[in-house]
Amino acid sequence: KKEATVSITVVGASGDLAKKKIFPALFALYYEDFLPEHFTIFGYARSKLTDEELRDMISMTLTCRIDQRENCSDKMERFLQRCFYHSGQYGSEESFQELDKRLKEKEAGRLPNRLFYLSVPPNIFVDVVRCASRYASSPTGWTRVIVEKPFGRDSESSRELTRCLKQYLAEDQIFRIDHYLGKELVENLSVLRFSNLVFEPLWSRQYIRNVQLIFSEDFGTEGRGGYFDSYGIIRDIMQNHLLQILALFAMETPVSLDAEDIRNEKVKVLRSMRNLELDDVVVGQYKGHTKGGTTYPSYTDDPTVKKNSLTPTFAAAALFIDNARWDGVPFLMKAGKALHTRRAEIRVQFRHVPGNLYKCNFGSDLDKATNELVIRVQPDEAIYLKINNKVPGLGMRLDCSTLNLLYSSRYPSEIPDAYERLLLDAIEGERRLFIRSDELEAAWSLFTPLLKELESKKIAPELYPFGSRGPVGAHYLAAKHNVRWGDLS
């Protein structure tokens, strides 16, 4: 049997994502010996660079894990020697034929497997896929293509993109990335739930009052306004990252850990979601101000954003899953840029204890006695559970205390970046953490009518100051469902 080799071509090699995430993740995999013995990396882009220039460019963002013994710069050098550059237009047949020749040279007669990472704007996805699949796919091994969102901007465009991609690739060759699925604590969700008897039986409307999925960033669009302005926060974060977490959180127990079994369950959740109405959402946009001598810009100060843009940089939404397990439980999502902090977390608020013997110890506010499970995805990864406890002493005072699994204390080694997990899975053909086309379709069906309504009715976003906790409308939305945002209480 022939030895296999993997060639990884990063298309859009000079872009930000490639420099900041993809090459560093590939190096981290190499550094920790996760890449196959025989591999080659090609950067592909339009600019005319030499192999050396590519190496110089990517070496700036490569870092070594602290706890490694081996000399980092040696290993980096060896990695860089396996990186090459190919310059070409994205839709150029000749250029992909040339690339094919270069790949063949490097493969040196071994069984060739080829992975293409599309780190390019969506309007050139199809051109690249057409050329790569026709002229540079592996003749005898596998060919896989990783694509990054946006996968369209509504149901129709997404369906069209899927249709076009499928002219050249089979579904099992397409790896649609949602990098949140590669985050350690998101991956851990099903371990937490399905391997702990103390959680699984509680995971339903019987015991859970509401679930909150929160994403906040403490910076604005920072030069990405051009992309962001035609998508907005609902498409950028909710329709993918938060909805994916929701599906994993709420799915029924899959038959097995097999990718198809898991994704079948996720699709069922997505298809059981109630239609979103305008009343179920609040949208906001950040506005600038000056504080302590520092000036914070408005969203519309970004030169790449339209001056009168109504694009939301913040949104909160109340979603419901109309199935037996979750009937009536609000799943509240909140996502925003330019807020007071950077954080992504899942908060699970449990019901009140029926006939609580100690209710008088909580005064009139029983919500204070609610058990809450918090899964902090980032930063400072942690899982903590708020419980009620007696304050030691002769009196009877209760205290809401926390059982805290803080990753930095429990697991001292560095947590791999999401892209490391996902690239490794794509190389190994593991599809569990990638989005299948029917999941994508269901996710768009949920948000498309709402997005169209917001846009056709030109709903003006509520302005909120840069660095604040977001628009006050988000509190009213939660209150309407008897919920308090856990991150604010």
Residue 168's SS3 state is helix
Nearer to ligand BG6, 186 or 373 (CB): 186
- DSSP tag of 240: I
Give the alpha-carbon dihedral of 97, 103, 107, 110, to 10 degrees: -40
In whole angstroms, how close is the CB of 21 to ligand BG6 at the nearest point?
9
In whole angstroms, how close is the CB of 125 to ligand BG6 at the nearest point?
16
Nearest to 11 by CA among 113, 93, 124: 124
In whole angstroms, how close is the CB of 150 to ligand BG6 at the nearest point?
8
Nearer to ligand BG6, 79 or 464 (CB): 464
In whole angstroms, how close is the CB of 369 to ligand BG6 at the nearest point?
32
Nearer to ligand BG6, 265 or 345 (CB): 345
Question: In degrees, to the nearest 5, what angle opens at C-alpha 226 toward C-alphas 223 and 228?
Answer: 90
Binding mask 326-365 for ligand BG6 (x = CB under 6 A): ------------------x---------------------
What gap in Å lies between CA 231 and CA 279, rounded to an integer? 21
In whole angstroms, how close is the CB of 241 to ligand BG6 at the nearest point?
6
Q: How many CA atoms lie within 13 A of 101 on its CB side?
A: 6
CA of 410: how far to CAs of 194, 375, 405, 449, 458, in Å? 21, 15, 7, 44, 49
Binding of ligand BG6 at residue 236 (CB under 6 A)?
A: yes
Tell me the three-class secondary structure of 335-361, residue by residue: EECCECCCEEEEEEEECCCCCCCCHHH
Which parts of 179-198 interact with ligand BG6 (CB under 6 A)? 179
Q: What is the DSSP string of 39-61?
A: EEEEEEESS---HHHHHHHHHTT
Number of chain residues interacting with ligand BG6 (CB under 6 A): 4
Nearer to ligand BG6, 54 or 344 (CB): 344
Q: What is the DSSP string of 8-46?
A: EEEETTTSHHIIIIIHHHHHHHHHTT-S-SSEEEEEEES
Q: Is residue 244 within 8 Å of residue 413, measured between CB atoms? A: no
Nearer to ligand BG6, 157 or 361 (CB): 157
The answer to whether 241 is a known catalytic residue is yes
What gap in Å lies between CA 441 and CA 435, rounded to an integer? 10
Binding of ligand BG6 at residue 420 (CB under 6 A)?
A: no
Which residue minimizes CB distance to ligand BG6?
Answer: 236
Nearer to ligand BG6, 88 or 182 (CB): 182
Which parts of 196-225 interact with ligand BG6 (CB under 6 A)? 217
Which parts of 257-286 interact with ligand BG6 (CB under 6 A)? none
Binding of ligand BG6 at residue 302 (CB under 6 A)?
A: no
Return residues touching ligand BG6 (CB under 6 A).
179, 217, 236, 344
Active centre residues (catalytic): 241
